Chains A and B, each alone.
Chain A
Amino acid sequence: MTALLYVLGALAALLLAAWAMRLAGRALSGNHPRFRDMGFGEAFGWVFAAAALVFAVWLYGREGAVFFRWAVQGFVIFALAAWLFRLAGRHIGTGGSRKLFRAMPLTASFGVLVVLIYAILAIFAGFIAPYGQAEILGAANVVPGGDPALGGNPAYPLGTDQIGRDILSRLIYGAQNTVGIAFATTCLAFVLGGSMGFLAATIGGWLDQLLSRAVDVLMAIPALIFALLLMTIASVWSARLGVPLTLFMVLIIALIDSTRVFRLARAVAGNIVVMDYIEAAKLRGEGLGYLIFREILPNALAPLLAEFGLRFCFVFLTIASLSFLGVGIQPPLADWGTMVRDLAQFINYAAFAPQAAAAPLLAAGAIALLTVAVNFIVDWMLHRSSGLKE
């Protein structure tokens, strides 16, 4: 209750300060248009931003605010890295890539940088990671940070988990498993949904009706709920057939997401099928394969690519959520969602051992960072293709 009173008091003080700031600005600058025409809302915005900045600086200097300091440092480091990466991209590379980098906003270059780092980690995980992903080492629950005074060990910079596996290695292998599986699933969803969508648009008639209605029904069930239902059934089958559950998960999520791809592919192809050049190809006697791969696919590629980025994010988040709930990627494969669930209880030690609480947040942050990066890239691509207009 007192917290609420503090917030209200601060708000009232800010409102007063905004009014005073505008009045003072008018008086001191001799009624400069900047202050003369300033709305109260804008004045409040400036004062609020200034207050937030002062508060952030104050918090940064405080003893206990370790996580806030880490967050600020992380933000600054990533912003700097993105800026340097863009600078490098503007001077190195072919003419085309340099031109691309020149018009790139900082958020997009951040996205490209992060995706590159993840790709390198995922591909070379076996060489980069100091230990194996399922390797059980001597000590369990070593605190991250590598400081022996605080219960760390320099051999395991991010500590070990509850049964003594190196967290850093598992994070790196997680890039391979989580991102790799999500990528494969998205590709499968696109092959499935894309081909069905193109077929439905090209052939039309009863096939189109059948597929579209089937997709309507599947889309009426929320994706995560449907995935959980099917995973329940798959878990019984996988125990019986001896097929890993992870494979079932890939198939199930690919099926669910292919319905969304189908919608888009069918809509895009529907606009292309009515074009004159398709008519001409049909009259020429071209087969279905030629029509789809040589005529429709090249023209539908741009919107499908943007969708691929977004779809990848959704698939990635669904897989992470399933793993977090305990029915996704199965051990011994290292995976970020499972790591968050296993390490989550360490967050409660944040007040006196901030290093210990960092491990689950690193795994969850790794998921968030990649999806944010992909979203930034897609946002920029959409902005570019829409002709830089609002």
Chain B
Amino acid sequence: MGSVTRIVVQRLLLGILTLLVVSIVIFTAVNLLPGDFAQAVLGQGATEEAIRSIRRDLGLDQNIVLRYLDWLGGVVRGDLGVSFAQMNFQSNMGGGEMKTVAAQIAPRFGNTMFLAGVTAMIAVPLSITLGVLAALYRNSAFDKGANLFTLSSISSPEFFLAYVLILFLAVIYPVLPSLSNIYEGMGFGERLEKTLLPALTLTLVVTAHMMRMTRAAIIQLLSSPYIEMARLKGISPMRVIVRHALPNALAPIINVIALNLAYLITGVVVVEVVFVYPGIGQLFVDAVKIRDIPVVQAACLIFAGAYILLNLTADIMSILSNPRLRHPK
């Protein structure tokens, strides 16, 4: 067991290192902005004095390495700064508590996680079942139809699928709400109902890929001698696949599930905008439009962190599910 722990710890350290480098990249990118934050915060009509005071408040008169370390220290403590919109409001209107970026993001992060969770709960069992069925009835009409359908839904943009679903499930046959106005203190059932349409859209996007990989992983195993043995024993094709092929195909399947959940992170941005879902993706896009750098920076870091974490999970799970990697010679 010692070697496995070592591999896992190694991967974790590598992940943290990657995240650190990514934070440097994001910070550098943001510092490529012409002029500086102070002007961006206050806009065109700012006085020289106001700019100077903001520069001092933000520490913009220091050198870039110090500023990076300062920002990183803040991030580690959970302090992501204050958004420009809030700062601008305060400098113009005065007074009032400023909401920090962390406080803005926290509830939305929960909402996004809820959406991703609901999607995963639908998509993972569905795609594995469909993948097993496609492998079982390979080259049949079902398999070809599923192939056509999945290839089309992989290659459609998210907003196309979203609008088609809105058209059929919200406008023509009003079964589900087309806007996800989620607020705090909402009951679980109602919340689920409002989340269902975005979750279904994301399900369509990710299921296709997971199902194709499940099918490919199982079919690749079907030519191995032990499967032939199982078949010659006379057990049913379904049992051959579920009991004998599936456990060995688990490593690539887990891998592709984790990678697709990572893909969800990108998909979530567009889908949240379509359904006006109050998640972190929508906040991100709004911040991009008004160039609210602290929010963009923070959201970017969170997305990258989640992406790296899921990739890392995929890596570790595929090691753990493979006995040959678990007990290296």
Residues of A with C-beta under 8 A to B297: 229
Which residues, 29 to 79 on A, are CB-close (under 8 Å) to B? Answer: 39, 41-42, 45, 49, 64-65, 67
Q: Separation in Å of the A69 CB from the closest CB of chain B?
A: 12
Which A residues are CB-close (under 8 A) to B265? 222, 225
Minimum CB–CB distance from A205 to chain B (whole Å) comes to: 21
Interface string of A215-232 (1 = CB under 8 A from B): 011101111111011111
The number of chain A residues touching the other chain, given as a range, is 35 or more
- Kindly state whether residue B136 has any CB partner on chain A within 8 Å: yes
A350 touching B172 by the CB < 8 A rule? yes
Q: Is A3 interfacial (CB-CB < 8 Å)?
A: yes
Interface size on B, residues (CB 8 A): 65
Residues B157 and A324 in contact, CB atoms below 8 Å apart: yes
A interface secondary structure, majority: helix
Inter-subunit contact B167/A357 (CB<8 Å): yes
- Contact partner of B163 (CB less than 8 A), chosen from A216, A235, A320, A361, is A361
Collect the chain A residues with CB atoms within 8 Å of residue B238's CB: 39, 41
Q: A375 an interface residue at 8 Å Cβ cutoff? A: yes
Does the CB pair B33–A236 fall under 8 Å?
yes
The stretch that binds B, out of A124-132, A151-159, A297-305, A340-348, is: A340-348
Judge if A141 is at the interface, Cβ distance under 8 Å.
no
- B296 interface contact, C-beta 8 A: yes
B227 at the interface (CB under 8 A from A): no
Q: Are A317 and B157 in contact (CB under 8 A)?
A: yes
Q: Is A223 a contact of B266 with CB atoms below 8 Å?
A: yes
Interface: B62 (CB within 8 A):
no
A276 within 8 A of B: no
Query: Do A221 and B237 touch (CB < 8 A)?
Result: no
Which of B1-9, B24-32, B87-95 is the interface stretch?
Answer: B24-32
Q: How far is the CB of A284 from chain B (nearest CB, A)?
A: 41
Chain A 1-40: CB-based contact to B (< 8 A → 1; otherwise 0) = 0010000000000000000000000000000000000010
If A67-B172, A232-B288 touch, whether A371 touches B155 (CB-CB below 8 Å) is: yes
The yes or no answer to A117 lying at the interface (CB within 8 A) is: no
Q: How far, in whole Å, are A237 and B31 apart by their CA atoms in the complex?
A: 12
Bound: A350/B311 CA distance, A: 41
Closest chain A CB from B17 CB (angstroms)? 10
**A376 at the B interface (CB under 8 A):** yes
Interface string of B184-222 (1 = CB under 8 A from A): 000000000000000000000000000000000001000
Contacts of B287 in A (CB 8 A): 232
| B138 at the binding interface (Cβ < 8 Å) | yes
Given A225-B304, A233-B33, is A357 in contact with B155 using a C-beta cutoff of 8 Å?
Answer: no
Given contacts A42-B137, A321-B158, contact A221 B304 (CB under 8 A): yes
**Nearest B residue (CB) for A325:** B285
Of the candidate stretches B53-61, B104-112, B146-154, the one touching chain A is B146-154
With A49-B141, A231-B288 as given contacts, are A236 and B34 in contact (CB-CB < 8 Å)? yes
Minimum C-beta distance from A324 to chain B (A): 5
Are B289 and A326 touching (Cβ within 8 A)?
yes
Give chain A nearest CB distance to B126 CB in angstroms: 14
Decide yes or no whether A107 CB sits under 8 A from chain B: yes
Q: Which chain A residues in 347-390 approach chain B with CB under 8 Å?
A: 347-348, 350-351, 357, 360-361, 364-365, 367-368, 371-372, 374-376, 379, 390
Set A49, A327, A379: member contacting B289, Cβ < 8 A: A327
Residue pair A351, B172 in contact (C-beta under 8 Å)? yes
Which residues of B are at the interface with A, using a C-beta cutoff of 8 A?
A: 18-19, 21-22, 25-26, 29-30, 32-35, 40, 133, 136-138, 141-142, 148, 151-152, 154-160, 163-164, 166-168, 171-172, 175, 178, 219, 236-238, 262, 265-266, 269-270, 273-274, 284-285, 287-289, 291, 293, 296-297, 299-300, 303-304, 307-308, 311
Known A321-B269, A324-B273, A368-B155; 9 more pairs at CB < 8 Å = A49-B142, A107-B148, A216-B18, A217-B18, A222-B265, A225-B299, A226-B300, A236-B291, A321-B159
Q: Can you report 5 A-B residue pairs in the complex whose CB atoms are below 8 A from each other?
A: A233-B30, A351-B172, A364-B160, A367-B160, A372-B151
A residues adjacent to B (C-beta < 8 A): 3, 39, 41-42, 45, 49, 64-65, 67, 107, 216-218, 220-226, 228-233, 235-237, 240, 313, 317, 320-321, 324-327, 337, 340, 344, 347-348, 350-351, 357, 360-361, 364-365, 367-368, 371-372, 374-376, 379, 390
